[in-house]
Amino acid sequence: MTPDWFPVHWLTGLYPWTKALHVISVIAWMAGQLYLPRLFVYHCAAAPGSEASETFKVMERRLLRAIMNPAMIATWVFGISLLLTPGIVDWAAGWIWVKVVLVVLLTFFHHLLALWFKAFRADANKHDARFFRFMNEVPTLAMIGIVIMVIVRPF
Ligand code: HEM
């Protein structure tokens, strides 16, 4: 049974703003998801304790804490607001379910990036540059899939 508060009718007038803020947050989140693994690739070449390594730690911390964490939260808040807006999502369509799976994957990947960030911070990284170059493809492929789902809506 659908609860009384669903869908949330006052969100209708806000719809263009909610969508604009969702896309702005997505861009900031994706910028970080694509750039942080690349920083890890370069960080692998810097000896622990070196000046370069300490500089990478500062760049990684700022990217994760000041941009990616708030952008991920904002993406979820505005994305869920869009889901709650009357008439926007037809749950009988397939695309929304594929999108939800890919977004959960991106959120999981964000947490993996945070774990790798902590390992670098403690000079305890166990992976090589090839690993991070490979991992760089995960957000790229997920983002391509999500954009095709929301724009093309193939099923
Ligand atoms: C975090 C959880 C997310 C939720 C709950 C969510 C949900 C939604 C919903 C319900 C819409 C509205 C579709 C419409 O207006 O018809 C939307 C639009 C959109 N989403 Fe998300 N989304 C999320 C994350 C993402 C991510 C990670 C990306 C990109 C990588 C993304 C890209 C987009 C784009 C580009 C649109 C605009 C599509 C259009 O022009 O109609 N979303 N999202």
By alpha-carbon position, which residue is closest to atom 2 of ligand 1?
76
Distance (Å, whole) CA 1 – CA 90: 16
Closest residue to atom 1 of ligand 1, CA basis: 76
Using the mean position of ligand 1's atoms as its centre, give its distance from the Cα of residue 62 in Å. Answer: 26
d(CA 82, CA 8): 10
Of all protein residues, whose CA lies closest to atom 6 belonging to ligand 1? 79
Distance between CA atoms of 95 and 145, rounded to whole angstroms? 10
Task: Please list the pLDDT of the chain residue by residue as tens digits (155 residues).
Answer: 567 787 899 999 999 999 999 999 999 999 999 999 999 999 999 999 999 999 999 999 999 999 999 999 999 999 999 999 999 999 999 999 999 999 999 999 999 999 999 999 999 999 999 999 999 999 999 999 999 999 999 99
**Nearest residue to 82 via CA among 109, 100, 107:** 100
pTM equals 0.94
Alpha helices in the chain (DSSP H): 15-44, 51-62, 69-84, 95-121, 129-135, 137-151
> Could you identify the atom of ligand 1 that is nearest to the CA of residue 107?
1
> What angle, 0 to 180 degrees and rounded to 10, lies between the N-to-C axes of helices 137-151 and 15-44?
160
Between the CA of 90 and the centroid of ligand 1 the distance, in Å, is 13
